[in-house]
Chains A and B, each alone.
Chain A
């Protein structure tokens, strides 16, 4: 490869050539072409903008984002933050963004788990398991996601009414109003324990780094699990006990025509989550399978020949190499899942697209509404790609 050559002659810049004002000069042609192309694009954009301005004037639509401060008046069933129809449009759209994130994040986690399991199952030595996984992947990938979502939603709507709700386990009710689960009666102590748990995770990560540095210095491995156990389980437990150890559980119960209490998963959210998870898992399974197959058999054998234990072989030799193949396409699957969550609008889950769509229908602010949708998705997409690229660079092969 000439690029990696260290021959000093290759670093010398080519001699500068006089620019000739002639069509035969390549650089003159390049400049002319670029001016022409940019001119055409700018002209088309200018024409569109002028048409739009004219049309807006004719239709008496005021532009600008002033409408965000007005009262929205649209009801939203699921909200993570305080919301009433009297809240502003800005608040309504924020609820939408949070709903999108809620389904996308949980969907990504579940799809990764399911996809990895199916991908490994497809490589299983057990013929039956491998075939089931293969059929799953083929079928799920060849049917449009929107059709699957409608199918799941119809299935959930076909469930019995709350009065005849299915009750597989005590306290869990499945009906056409969604899934009801018992949930802790949330107290301040629980919040503190959750905070302690997160702090414990962070502390474990710091400890792992410190231990690794020590191992690098003197070569002696040190166990991580005592610190991890203490920080992740012990610390929240102590905080929870100090907070009075509240254990009250909110059980769902049938009152009138619907359930009261407990934790609800609405049918819309449930259908969207099932659809996104199973669909994306089909693609992730193929990525995982390709990643595992990409590590040659020789790597397993060489690691075993060194006397490493099977767990260590998997963690230290095979996974790092497989991840290099897995991570880039996985990033695009995460992005796809996030973008596909916009199909929520078809089954009535109120994500950002659905709320922005209602907003633009109510206010007539079409351009602003669509601009908001695009800005939100661009932001989410870019953040996912940045974090995954950062991770990818960390695990990438370090070459000279």
Chain B
């Protein structure tokens, strides 16, 4: 090699023109070129979108932070109204600062607000603990029962030196969490029974389960809530009266049960037939077969869709607004009814959206991670 001097043409072959170095394939510049400016069309799209993002982001930051008013002295909202009508409008977060206790806890006695606050913390801790796979064992059921009892004691009081608070005065976030958690805790076992019933070999049981699921899924939740609020009192014998919250809870449970049953049925159907036949061949009874062979596998298959159903169901608890139960959304809507604060609904709704978003987003991220984790054995 060394005796061929570089740069001289060999045997009359003309010297090649100097070539461009290859385009960058790594690093931020290459990334930007590949993902934002790969073609004329893409470049134009990026520029247009960037323009709109910058423009609206500046407008939003101005409205939400720069021009915003964060607090006003004792309900004097003139400053807020002036700001709203001015050329540089801003948010009046004072409504949230002023009313946040009311929005979160409703009409619960003011000095006792630490109790519903603690209840919210307990509920959230319960969700987090239930989500960790290392705690998935039988003792978890006991933890649930214990926590729910503590929550009941905190909300009602009347013992251990806590003053009694009637249920009519509960409100805000605890109500939303109670409706969602208790609804879920009762709907889930119900849904398993219904799903099993729908796949049962007994025709009468199958017909009943199909009728229940299809009837509930065919009508909106609102009609069930109306039914709970106006028809339940007619159904019960004279003199027996169950309160509104419990009636709504029953309606939500029945509603969630039907939707969850369809998800569970999906898991039962996805299980290979061999599992059923093997259990039969071992001579296991129906309940042994179901409890030890079928359900543990079928439920594991449907955990991600189950969590998605839970999210939908958590959001749906807000519908109790329509029958006048004081949940988080109703509290927010009521907060801006007062004349001094009328017209500041947008700020309140944004604040409430953030709370709902935090819970739902956490659940949906969790479900995605769980799905990836449970499917890991399938990947290569």
Question: Which residues of A come within 8 Å of B, CB atoms?
Answer: 30, 33-34, 37-38, 41, 48, 51-52, 54-56, 58, 125-129, 132, 138-139, 141-147, 150-151, 154-155, 158, 339-340, 342-343, 345-346, 353, 357, 360, 366-367, 370, 373-374, 377-378, 381-382
A353 to B205, CA, bound (A): 32
Distance between Cα atoms of A239 and B287 in the complex (Å) = 71
Q: List 8 A-B contacts (CB under 8 A).
A: A54-B238, A129-B45, A143-B315, A143-B356, A143-B360, A146-B318, A147-B318, A373-B223
B357: Cβ under 8 A from any A Cβ: yes
**A-B complex: 9 closest residue pairs judged by Cβ atoms:** A142-B360, A127-B35, A154-B345, A339-B220, A144-B315, A34-B204, A342-B220, A144-B318, A366-B230
Q: What are the residues of chain B within 8 A of A154 when measuring CB–CB?
A: 345-346, 349
A34-B204, A150-B333 are known contacts. Are A378 and B353 too (CB-CB below 8 A)? no
- CB neighbours of B352 from chain A (8 A): 147
8 Å CB contacts to A: which residues of B301-340? 311, 315-316, 318-319, 321-322, 329, 333
Q: How far is the CB of B241 from chain A (nearest CB, A)?
A: 12
Query: When the two chains form their complex, are residues A37 and B205 in contact, meaning their CB atoms are under 8 A apart?
Result: yes
CB distance from A210 to the nearest CB of B (A): 39
- What bracket does the count of chain B residues touching chain A fall in? 35 or more
Chain B residues with Cβ below 8 Å from A366 are 230-231, 234
Known interface pairs A56-B234, A147-B318, A154-B345; 7 further A-B residue pairs with C-beta atoms within 8 A, sorted by A's residue number: A127-B36, A147-B349, A150-B345, A343-B319, A353-B222, A373-B219, A381-B219
Q: Mark B196-236, 1 if CB is under 8 A from A, else 0.
A: 00000111110010000001011111110011001101111
Q: Is B158 an interface residue (CB 8 A)?
A: no
The interface residues of chain A lying within 8 Å CB-to-CB of B372 are: none
A382–B218 contact, CB under 8 A?
A: yes
The answer to whether B353 and A151 have CB atoms under 8 Å apart is: yes
CA distance A310 to B356 in the complex (A): 44
B46 contacts A126, CB within 8 Å?
yes
Min CB gap B60→A, angstroms: 14
A370 to B49, CA, bound (A): 48
- Given A145-B315, A339-B220, A353-B222, A158 contacting B346 (CB threshold 8 A): yes
Contact B356 A51 (CB under 8 A): no
**B92: shortest Cβ distance to chain A, in Å?**
12
- Cβ–Cβ < 8 Å partners of B322 in chain A: 343, 345-346
Residues of B within 8 A of A34 (CB): 202-205
Give chain B nearest CB distance to A44 CB in angstroms: 10
Residues of A within 8 A of B35 (CB): 125-127
Docked CA distance A153–B215 (Å): 31
Residues of chain B within 8 A of A155, CB atoms compared: 346
